[in-house]
């Protein structure tokens, strides 16, 4: 039953993230294609650090909230995974339908990973504090930065894509806990 509820909640959260992502794609096109992987990682870092600051200070001076930042992390993680797949030879401006299809594919891969991990971990995230999810995202960001600094080489660790997938899933878990639908 919990897995079904998680599937429904995951899909509801992703629907919110997808809607914003696709609206911004119509507004801005695929301007994000110009970003190097390290720049995307830094964008995710900025959002996660802002969440942590808001969690600690409880006040926002610019009027945005934690929810919008987690949505941003989800969407930047999808962008990062798309950029890993797209080659430099492809145009910066991609057709809307291709972007929509890539978004769906990256989310599906990540959702499948989430269910495999949920099976093994028994949905432990449900008992976690949102602030712990934020800290895990920040830790994953620092891992990605180190892998990027090592030019993608790892000795015993998963690569950057798996870290982006984990950050996306942690953000979805936080958004579920925040009641986003």
Boundaries of every domain in the chain? 2-177
Q: pTM of the full predicted structure?
A: 0.93
In angstroms, the CA 150 to CA 33 distance is 23
Model pLDDT, residue 176: 96
Model pLDDT, residue 181: 86
Backbone φ, ψ for residue 89 (5° rounding): -75, -15
Of 48, 53, 87, 82, the closest CA to residue 170 belongs to: 48
Three-class SS of residue 118?
Answer: helix
Contact 14, 107 (CB under 8 A): yes
CA distances from 181 to 14, 62, 118, 128 (A): 9, 24, 21, 20
Neighbouring residues of 19: CB distance < 8 A, sequence distance ≥ 6 = none
For 108-166, how does the pLDDT look when each residue is reduced to its tens digit (9 = 90+)? 999 999 988 887 888 889 999 999 999 999 999 999 999 999 988 888 888 899 999 99
Mean pLDDT over the full length of the chain: 92
């Amino acid at each position: 039953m919990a897995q079904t509820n998680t599937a429904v909640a995951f899909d509801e959260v992703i629907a919110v993230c997808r809607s914003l992502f696709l609206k911004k794609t119509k507004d801005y096109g695929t301007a994000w294609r110009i970003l190097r992987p390290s720049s995307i990682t830094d964008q995710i870092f900025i959002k996660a650090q802002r969440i942590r600051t808001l969690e600690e200070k409880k006040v926002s001076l610019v009027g945005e909230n934690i929810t919008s930042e987690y949505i941003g992390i989800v969407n930047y993680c999808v962008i990062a995974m798309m950029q890993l797949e797209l080659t430099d030879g492809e145009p910066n401006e991609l057709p809307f339908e291709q972007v929509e299809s890539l978004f769906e594919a990256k989310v599906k891969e990540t959702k499948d990973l989430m269910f495999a991990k949920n099976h093994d971990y028994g949905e432990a995230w449900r008992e976690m504090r949102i602030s712990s999810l934020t800290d895990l995202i920040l830790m994953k960001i620092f891992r990605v930065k180190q892998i990027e600094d090592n030019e993608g080489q790892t000795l015993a660790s998963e690569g950057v894509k798996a870290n982006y997938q984990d950050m996306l899933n942690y953000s979805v878990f936080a958004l579920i806990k925040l009641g986003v639908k």
